[in-house]
């Protein structure tokens, strides 16, 4: 899946956290909310 690769790259951004909730993968970045994403 293309989205998974982008989530993996977003993990490298400063301040980001990868969380799995209800079968979905989220990237939450409080320092820069522009990078918030959801997959699944």
1-40 residue pLDDT tens: 455 567 878 888 888 998 899 998 999 999 988 888 888 7
Is residue 16 a contact partner of residue 35, using CB atoms and an 8 Å limit?
yes
What is residue 4's predicted lDDT score, i.e. its pLDDT?
A: 56
Contact between 18 and 4 (Cβ < 8 Å): no
The pLDDT of residue 3 is 54
Instruction: Name residue, tokens 């490298």.
Output: 12
Report the C-alpha gap between 23 and 34 in whole angstroms: 22
* Terminal-to-terminal C-alpha distance of the chain: 10
What is the model's pLDDT at position 5? 66
- 28: nearest Cα among 15, 4, 39: 15
Question: What's the number of domains the chain is made of?
Answer: 1
Task: Find the domain containing 26 and state its range.
Answer: 2-39
Q: Please count the other Cβ atoms lying within 10 Å of the Cβ belonging to residue 24.
A: 10
């Amino acid at each position: 899946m293309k989205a998974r690769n982008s989530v993996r790259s977003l993990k490298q951004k400063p301040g980001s956290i990868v969380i799995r909730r209800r079968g979905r993968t989220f990237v939450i970045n409080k320092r820069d909310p522009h990078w918030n994403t959801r997959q699944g």
